[in-house]
Amino acid sequence: MNKGFKGGILAIVTMDKDKVTGGGCPVFLAVDQKEQEKLGLFLARILDGIVHDLENGVYFICRH
């Protein structure tokens, strides 16, 4: 289905705010892995995106 904006990062969920920098995309801070997973899931559902794991403690939501 066509959902408009595709390919870009919609949101970032991280436990370590030093791992992300720059602007243009909202960054959500989580206290632990559990909260990170939950935030990721919620944001993905709301934004119609998919959660990807960069394996350095940073999750991001992207729409394909």
Partner 1 sequence: MERYLVAIVVGIAAGFLDRLIMLRSDYRFYPTYPHGYLTHLALGFIAAGLGAVAIPAIAKPDYVAVTFLALAAQQFREIRSMERETLSKLEESKLIPRGPDYIEGIARVFEARNYLVILTAMASSAVAYWWRWEYAVIAALLCIVFSTKLMGGSYIGEIAQVEKGEIIFDGSILKVNDVIIMNVGLTETRKKIMREGMGIIIKPRDDNARLTLDAPGQRMAIIHDVVSILGSKVDVSETELRPLARKQADKGYLALFLVANEPDQEYFMEIVKRVPVIESTRGTALKSFFGRKAAD
Q: Does residue 41 bind partner 1 (CB under 8 A)?
A: yes
11, β-bridge pairs: 61
Residue 3: both structure tokens together: 């959902």
Q: Does residue 31 bind partner 1 (CB under 8 A)?
A: no
How far is 63 from 44, CA to CA, in rounded Å?
Answer: 9
Q: Does residue 45 bind partner 1 (CB under 8 A)?
A: yes
Q: Is 36 exposed, middle or buried (0-12, 13-18, 19+ CB in 10 A)?
A: buried
Write down the least CB distance from residue 20 to partner 1, Å: 15
Q: Does residue 42 bind partner 1 (CB under 8 A)?
A: no
Binding site for partner 1 (CB under 8 A): 1-2, 37, 40-41, 44-46, 48-53, 55, 59-60, 64
